[in-house]
Structure 1
């Protein structure tokens, strides 16, 4: 449906549920509601997944650190969070087989006493997963550890404990969540900012939304308004009530990307202890090596930047395990905010990712906290709550069984079929893992003359730009470079070089003038250099 038609629907219809925020949480709520027969709208002021949801550690996991805290402190909240997340991990892996996969993670051991400690903890992790568990945790000796992860420091290595979690492409998962909600009947719109909450007799009755592309403002009527804006939840709450006390603290997740040589293709590394007690992951991801950590207190701002000090911190934590890595080896970096339900006595490293639903006197429902892996559970709880509180007529939940767009009709041997069509193995694998059953649509566009790579070292092709503009609601070069493909998150220099061509291709598809094409390219380059 064309954007003008979507705006017309927003202006002319009354929705059961209007969701503010197009990250994982908001898109998850939209899919849950629409698939249960509720008339649903989803509004995002920027692009889907532009904030927190594209800046995760790319793991679908229960959280071994949360389990450790739960066991040490007898914290039932943390324990339940881990159990719920492990259940949801299995659903995410099943519903998006193209965007997710199980991944082995090694915890290196340099002291003999560490083996029973970590092995026992990870066996508890397996037990909590129940029927949703992946491959069981196992002890690996030093020789086997070096075979599995050749770049690890062998000096004093006693072995490792290996366990499995899930890994995914977070931004593409988020985009497909929103598109699947649209497929289920929701009106879904990015670059649509809520400017005002509309009330009648003190009760919410809708919003005023401004279209960021046309500058047009429309009033949207809704029985229920949901605030699912992650770290910015308090901003919407204060739009409803200027005196609303804060619900959140925020922590930042800092990540860097290195060359693929620093990690094997199928195994990651969990570094359980750092100089300040945080956890660091070293993970293979989309042809690079992702290194990062979380839980550093942070102010709530748009597009947080990574500082040189933070990059230095990450490199310093991995030095004992991977050796000295020069600053120039960092190909890309980013920072993302995590919304944590505030507890005044706790620091951000000890705040659980449990979620909270709050109903204001005017009827605004705020859903906040949580983590990527539990987005569907959060959405389910919110929609069930809304149905009870506002007497909405909804069918039973179906989201456990609804594959995302590219997972519908997914074939495990899809990459091989693309190779048989003449694609190189790396491009075939990339298209298969990024688009799933929709990869053939991208291949058809490529046949129109768009087979060229956007960057020599990466398997991302020009046809993906056209596909994103036609089918994935991409409206700017950065939408493509950062979130429909992940080039800006993998290789800053390659993304900078590709920006003019991406802008040119989008301009042809969207009818931009020559001046607009140049302007969009420069804007994308500036954003990549600042904070993606």
Structure 2
């Protein structure tokens, strides 16, 4: 359906569930609900994954750090979180084989006692995964470590412990969650902001929403309203009850992207100790090297900025392991907010990433906390609660066995087929990994005259802009450059260079006049430079 038709559908029908928020949590709830036969709508005020869900460390993991904390503090909550996440890790890898893959991670060790400590801990990590475990953890000699990750500091190296976790493209995974929910019957719209909550006899009955693109305002009727807005959950709760006490304590995490030469393509690095006792990852990701993250108390804002102090912190943490990396080597950086359940006097780095379902007096269901890897478990718990509490007629959960749209009919040799069509190896591999079973549709657009690259050194094509507008609900240049492709997260300079062509292509598809195109051009450049 066209956007105007979807708006009319939202305004004219009554839904079982209205989900506010189009990040991993909200999109997960929409898919869970729609696939069980519930009449479901989702609205997102910006773009899918524009906030927290596109700004993760790109790992699908149980959380080695949380396991260590659980053991040290005898914290059953942390331990259960790790176990649940390891189970969900296997489901994500299976349901989106194009977007997710197992990745080896090395933990370099420089003290003899560290070898048995980390080896035992990572073996326990495998044990908790049970049948969902990946390749078993193993000790690797100093020589073997340097063969696997040549840039590791060899001085005093005692070897490393290698283990596997999952890695993924978080924003594209999120977009495909939303698309799969649509496939299951949900009405899903981005750039649609909730401005108020509607009540009848003290109970919620719907929401007032505003289309940020057309300024049109409508009302949406729903039996149950789900607040899945991550760090902004307290804002929606106060639309329901202005006196609602805060639920969350936000934490900021920043990441930087370096050239691919700083990591091998198939192996990452876990730096187990930093100057403040946290962990940092060095990971190969989409042709670059991802390094992060910080974990500091933060104020909730729409698009948090990265400071030079934070970039300096990350570079300082990797120096003992990789040597001096100059500031000019940083190609891109971004900051994200984590929604952590508030606990008085708690350090944000030590807050558990467990999730919470809260029901207000008027019936607002807030789902918050958690982590990317447990999005499906969170959605399952929420829908089960809503079905039981509000008497909704729903079938059994099917999401554990529901591939995302690009995973439906995915063929492992898809990249080879694209090469045979004339695409270069890097472009073929990218299309295969980004779109999965839908790569051929993008390839067809490329064959129709949109086969040029958006940036010389990167595999993103003009065809992807057209495809994103027609089939992936992209409405702005940043929707394309930051989340349908990941260029703005990988290379700020290259993304800036691509903006004019992206605006030109989108303008043709969406009928932008010169003033609208100029505004989109300016907005995109400003956001790429400041905060994506």
Instruction: Calculate the TM-score normalised by the size of structure 2.
Output: 1.00
**In 1, distance between residues paired with 2:464 and 2:135?**
34
Once residues 296 and 152 of structure 1 are traced to their aligned partners in structure 2, the CA distance between those partners, rounded to angstroms, is 27
List aligned pairs for 1:5-20, cutoff 5 A.
5-20=5-20
Q: Which residue of 2 aligns with 1:196?
A: 196
Equivalent-residue separation in structure 1 for 2:286 and 2:43 (angstroms) = 29
- How many angstroms apart in 2 are the aligned matches of 1:345 and 1:74? 19
User: Which residue number corresponds to residue 185 of structure 1?
Assistant: 185
Q: Encode CA deviations 1:125-175: one digit per residue, 9 max, x unaligned.
A: 000000000000000000000000011111111100000000000000000
Deviations 1:155-197 (A, max 9, x none): 1111000000000000000000001001100000000000110
Unmatched 5+ stretches in structure 2: none
Report the Cα distance in structure 2 between the residues aligned to 1:245 and 1:295, rounded to whole angstroms.
24
1:17-56 correspondence to structure 2 within 5 Å: 17-56=17-56
**Paired residue for 2:238?**
238
Instruction: Give the whole-Å Cα distance in 1 for the aligned partners of 2:365 and 2:523.
Output: 35
The 2-side partners of 1:137 and 1:258 are apart by 27
- What SS class does the counterpart of residue 290 from structure 1 fall into? strand
CA contact (8 A) 2:140 2:159 kept: yes
Contact 1:500 1:518 (8 Å CA) reproduced: no
Contact 1:87 1:132 in 2 (8 A): yes
- 1:515 is displaced (CA, Å) by 2.9
Name the structure 2 match of 1:300.
300
Q: Deviations over 1:357-414 (max 9, x none)?
A: 0000000000000000000000000000000100000000000011001001000000
Per-residue CA distance 1:239-278 (angstroms, 9 max, x = gap): 1001111000011111000000000000000001000011
CA distance in 2, matches of 1:25, 1:153: 39
The equivalent of 1:262 in structure 2 is 262
User: After TM superposition, where is structure 1 displaced by more than 3 Å over at least 4 residues in a row?
Assistant: none
How much has 1:522 moved relative to structure 2? 1.6
Distance 1:253 1:92 in 2: 23
Quote the residue 2:223 is aligned against.
Answer: 223
Does the CA-based 8 Å contact 2:294-2:310 persist in structure 1? no
Q: 1:372 and 2:368 equivalent?
A: no
1:294, CA displacement in angstroms? 3.6
- Structure 2 Cα separation of the partners of residues 391 and 345 of structure 1: 39
Post-superposition offset of 1:38: 0.1
Task: Compute the displacement of 1:345 (Å).
Answer: 3.0
Alignment of 1:37-436 (within 5 A): 37-436=37-436
Partners of 2:505 and 2:98 in 1: how far apart? 26
Structure 1 unaligned blocks of 5 or more: none
For 2:503 and 2:313, how far apart are their aligned partners in 1?
Answer: 35
RMSD: 0.6
Give deviations 1:395-438, integer Å, cap 9, x for gaps. Answer: 00000011001001000000000001011000000000000000
State the match for 2:459 in structure 1.
459
> C-alpha separation between the residues in 1 aligned to 2:155 and 2:103?
25
Shift of residue 111 of structure 1? 0.7
Q: Which moved more, 1:340-349 or 1:221-230?
A: 340-349
TM-superposition CA deviations, 1:292-320 (whole Å, max 9, x none):
01421111111000000000000000000
Name the TM-score, length of structure 1 as normaliser: 1.00
Query: For the Cα contact (< 8 Å) 2:52–2:336, is it kept in 1?
Result: yes
Per the alignment, in what secondary structure is the counterpart of residue 117 of structure 2?
helix
Structure 1 position 523, deviation (Å): 1.1
- Distance (whole Å) between structure 2 residues aligned to residue 286 and residue 231 of structure 1: 27
Give the CA deviation at 1:524.
0.3
d(CA) in 2 for partners of 1:374 and 1:519? 38
Query: Any idea what SS the aligned residue of 2:399 has?
Result: coil
- C-alpha distance in structure 2 between counterparts of 1:24 and 1:414, whole Å: 27
- Structure 2 distance, partners of 1:150, 1:172, is 31
Question: What SS does structure 2 have at the residue aligned with 1:449?
Answer: helix
